[in-house]
Structure 1
Amino acid sequence: MKQLSKLLTNKILILGLVIVAELLVMLYFINELLTYNFVYSFMMVLSLLLVVWVVNKDDNPTYTSAWAVIILIFPPMGAVIYLLFGGRKVPKELREKITETYDGFDLPQDFDIADDLEKFDAQVHKQAKYIYNTSHYPIFNTRRTEYLKSGEIKFEVMLEEIRKAEKFVFLEYFIVKEGVMWQTLLDVLTQKVKEGIDVRFIYDDWGTSGFDDLKQQCEAAGIKVVVFNPIRARLAITMNNRSHRKACIVDGRVGIVGGMNIADEYINAIDRFGHWKDTAILFEGEVVHSLTLMFLQFYRYYTNTNEDPEQFRYNFNGSEKDDGFIQVFTDAPTDKDDVGLDSHLNIINNAKDYIYIQTPYLIIGYEMTKALGLAAKSGVDVRIVVPGIPDKVIVNQVTKANYGTLIRSGVKIYEYTPGFVHSKTIVSDDKIAMVGTTNMDFRSYYLHYETTVLVANNHTVMDCLQDNLETFEKSRLITLEMVESVPYIVKLFRGVARLFSGLM
């Protein structure tokens, strides 16, 4: 009864029902208008023109083809639905306001560091240069980095660093759920607030929708809280733009980024989908200020505070530098560049010996499929680890729908036998690795705000490689025979689901 009551009062469910009701009322009145011949004829012509326009848009073909099918199958209502939900671009007002918060936040590139990176590897330098030119976050020398190969390790390290805080703790997460992990973290944060530490927390409203009194708990503890993109009962495409970022910043000295949210399954305190495999990276040095600025941009946007970012910069004078290079960057739907997707494509296209990937979802378009296949056909060892036990059934069927094409091209697909892989890592050629929040799916590439850490010529690259090798040992290799033995009805379902994968 308690669970039923919680379900019926769930914010997502209630708002979803309100939006559906709004949509049905709107469609009803439109349907009434369509009884007039001239309106119906106009809408049919509009549907045909929309299909031509959508197909010729400078956009992802997986996305445009899905909408073209909807418009053609359900004329003229398909056109109405597209006009309501088909736009991916964030509204102009929101883009402009976000852009205003970026003023004065740009970081200059130390060209001596960039030159050193180019001497190490020209292709890695091109990757870092592209990221700087599009996201405006430079590459730095590393001071300390640590690859965190599990959620349990990451959580313990994060708590340890928070306990050391002397000035501030900034947290940003997509999902927060009640449980052991949250209560443990809350106790530590509460203690730091009592010590006079400035503790701030940004969380996404969609990802925390099941945690009704999260804001009240934070405010009671003295934590300054910001709710990202509050859910509203309205027909607005902006409700799709979520902050999928996960970050912890302590004193501007240490940053932690990775796939983990704040819920018990991430530290395997509960069993939801078998063993939960996740990763993160800890880094210390001047690069942490990039992550601090990302946090402050959102914080200023929602609170209208105008703080000098320099007061949150840590002074590393005299600190010993580590080996290699590091770059932290963000991808946002408010700009014209798909930095997450492009950085993935760059690293795949430049791979010479191997490219190993861990991702919970493999919902990819034509360009990514071709890039992976071309790399494999060129002799690159391409391996991808996906979950053995999925968290979303339909999404996992779309992932499986991509197996055949990739395997025929020479890509090796592994399913993580113990459970669910939530890691978002890429490592290549013993030179470069990326760890972050970006999934290989449409939502991460085009709709969400994401954060990624690039490391090069650093011991963390080899740690990431070792983690992948150990994960392969625990996973099963999918063969073409296994793919082709799937019942025809399942293949048909996967094909239909894949057709609309751009909308997932």
Structure 2
Amino acid sequence: MWTSILLGIYILITLSIVIAILLHGAKPSKSLAWLLAIFAIPVGGIILYLLLGRNRRKNKLVQLKRNLFKRLPNPDYNQVNAFDGKFRKLMTLFYNNSHFPPVGNNSLQLLKDGKTTFDAIFGALERAKKEIHIQYYIFEDGELANKLQELFKRKLSKGVKIRMIYDGIGSFSLSRNYLKGLENMAVEVYSFLPFKFGRFFSSLNYRNHRKIIVVDGKIAFTGGINISDKYLKGDPGLGKWHDMHIKIDGPAASHLNQVFMMDWYLVCQELLQPLENPVCATQFTSDSLVQIVSGGPDDDFPALEQTYFSIINSAKKYVYITNPYIIPSQALIKALQTAALSGVDVRLLVSENADNRLVSWSVHSYFETFLKSGIKIYLFPDGFLHSKIIVSDDAISSIGTANLDDRSFEQNYEVNAIIYEKGFAQLLKEDFLKDSTASKRLSYEVYIQRPWIRKLKEGFGKIFSPLL
């Protein structure tokens, strides 16, 4: 009797999931993969789907975000008429996705690796007069965290308001004692989708991967660097961590602040101030145009995927990409191959060392087809390269938190800064070429001769690439 009841419950759950996949599956290939997993792996397939496959658009955060957007005035699409020049289409796309127009009169500073970045961050935090907003995917106990805590104590004593968001999974190791210390000091701190068994299935797969600091709404930082001592001391297994960040002093900082404020509403339902649609730049010949692009699983379109896709398609001479997790969609694969076959100099810089074997196998599984189309691939040997950079034609560049994979495009909350400035693009290009010189360039003729066991591992990784 009990066997029949359990079997009946299992069949009902299976049917409900199948119906949900058929109704809400966005990609046929991914929907088919989940259907095969559910029928081929009894019970296990259902558990995997509940953990990794559900569509965030039906969950609580979506409703919260809709409530938030009801408080915003309608986007002023007349601003698009002011966009001018060769990047008009890109500016329009980014505005339609994220509602942040390009703004000028920004002072930009490229920050490479941990010491340079944290020196600049602590310098800006020390000068805070009114408020500090800080948001990180990974926030770990250690010297950096302790130094921040001491700084917070000093700034709070001077009346500075401090708000902090950390991701519930990315910062899972952050100690309760540390958080309690922040709360006792009157730091307003919240976890984004905290790890709770009651909400385990609904929240595990959707993370806030953003890294944002905003000081007084005027100075902001974003990029790939988290709050972790490994950026200063290295990692016992991987060695030194290399990464990029950007400091923005100017109007674009307020746009990053608005991204923080929207996330703040999601974690505690507090609207810090009336949200307004930002006004676009009036002078598009400025050498400091910056446009913020944010994206998440509750958006209508994959904003960051479209960002990378459009920059690649717009390239005329070259497009250089640094990223540790290049697990591209079919659209991005075709964009990269089409650009290379059209004579564009397409180069990828990837870390030779990896923090996850399965992810590394998946990344390498695309190398053969890339090399065959003329894409140049470089493996950076020194430590772990974690930067998320794209630069093209000495004209446009992107720096931020998004990787080139489905997780960043469809499951994580991410943010990138798009810079329309020749000098900044050339700076990133020079840095890319310098790192490439110190790296090992792969050869198609040699790579296809790799051992069959390596190809087998890559094939295994590729199967799981949509879930990574």
Q: TM-score scaled by structure 2? A: 0.89
Q: How far off is 1:457 after superposition? A: 2.7
Find the residue that maps to 2:204 and give its secondary structure. helix
Given that 1:290 and 1:329 are in contact with CA atoms closer than 8 Å, whether structure 2 keeps it comes out as no
2:161 alignment counterpart: 198
Residue from 47, 56, 67 that aligns with 1:100: 67
Whole-Å separation in 2 of the counterparts to 1:286 and 1:471: 32
2:316 alignment counterpart: 352
Q: How far off is 1:436 after superposition? A: 0.3
Deviating above 4 A after TM superposition, structure 1's stretches of 4 or more consecutive aligned residues are 29-32, 42-47, 53-58, 105-112, 114-117, 269-272
Instruction: Give structure 1 stretches of 5+ with no counterpart.
Output: 1-28, 314-320
Pairwise mapping of residues 290-305 of structure 1 onto structure 2 (< 5 A)? 290-305=255-270
Residue from 64, 74, 91 that aligns with 2:58: 91
Structure 1 residues 134 and 274: CA distance shift in structure 2, 3 A: same
Structure 1 residues 370 and 193: CA distance shift in structure 2, 3 A: same
Find the residue that maps to 1:293 and give its secondary structure. helix
Whole-Å separation in 1 of the counterparts to 2:212 and 2:247: 10
1:437 alignment counterpart: 401
Partner AA of 2:188 in structure 1? K
Whole-Å separation in 2 of the counterparts to 1:324 and 1:117: 15
Whole-Å separation in 2 of the counterparts to 1:187 and 1:156: 15
Whether 1:484 aligns to 2:451 is: no
Partner AA of 1:164 in structure 2? R
Q: How far off is 1:184 after superposition? A: 1.9
Q: How far off is 1:365 after superposition? A: 2.2
Residue from 410, 414, 422 that aligns with 1:450: 414
Structure 1 residues 392 and 270: CA distance shift in structure 2, 3 A: closer
Structure 1 residues 109 and 329: CA distance shift in structure 2, 3 A: farther
Percent identity between matched residues is 29
Whole-Å separation in 2 of the counterparts to 1:286 and 1:438: 22
Given that 2:193 and 2:267 are in contact with CA atoms closer than 8 Å, whether structure 1 keeps it comes out as no
Q: How far off is 1:306 after superposition? A: 3.5
Moved more, 94-103 or 238-247: 94-103
1:118 alignment counterpart: 84
Given that 1:55 and 1:65 are in contact with CA atoms closer than 8 Å, whether structure 2 keeps it comes out as no
Question: What is the CA RMSD across the aligned residues, in angstroms?
Answer: 3.0
What is the aligned length?
A: 458
Whole-Å separation in 1 of the counterparts to 2:393 and 2:74: 29
1:257 alignment counterpart: 222
Structure 1 residues 445 and 85: CA distance shift in structure 2, 3 A: closer
Given that 1:258 and 1:281 are in contact with CA atoms closer than 8 Å, whether structure 2 keeps it comes out as yes
Given that 1:431 and 1:457 are in contact with CA atoms closer than 8 Å, whether structure 2 keeps it comes out as yes
Whole-Å separation in 2 of the counterparts to 1:420 and 1:45: 42
Whole-Å separation in 2 of the counterparts to 1:44 and 1:108: 41
Structure 1 residues 206 and 372: CA distance shift in structure 2, 3 A: same
Pairwise mapping of residues 105-504 of structure 1 onto structure 2 (< 5 A)? 105=72, 118-119=84-85, 121=86, 124-213=87-176, 214-234=178-198, 235-268=200-233, 270-309=235-274, 323-504=287-468
Instruction: Give structure 2 stretches of 5+ with no counterpart.
Output: 279-284
Given that 2:349 and 2:380 are in contact with CA atoms closer than 8 Å, whether structure 1 keeps it comes out as yes
Q: How far off is 1:58 after superposition? A: 5.9
Find the residue that maps to 2:57 and give its secondary structure. coil
Structure 1 residues 237 and 327: CA distance shift in structure 2, 3 A: same
Find the residue that maps to 2:208 and give its secondary structure. coil
1:63 alignment counterpart: 30
2:6 alignment counterpart: 33
Moved more, 80-89 or 468-477: 80-89
Q: Deviations over 1:217-245 (max 9, x none)?
A: 21233321111111111452332111100
Whole-Å separation in 2 of the counterparts to 1:300 and 1:77: 35
Q: How far off is 1:261 after superposition? A: 0.3
Given that 1:43 and 1:76 are in contact with CA atoms closer than 8 Å, whether structure 2 keeps it comes out as no
Whole-Å separation in 1 of the counterparts to 2:62 and 2:345: 40
Q: How far off is 1:106 after superposition? A: 5.8
Given that 1:155 and 1:267 are in contact with CA atoms closer than 8 Å, whether structure 2 keeps it comes out as no
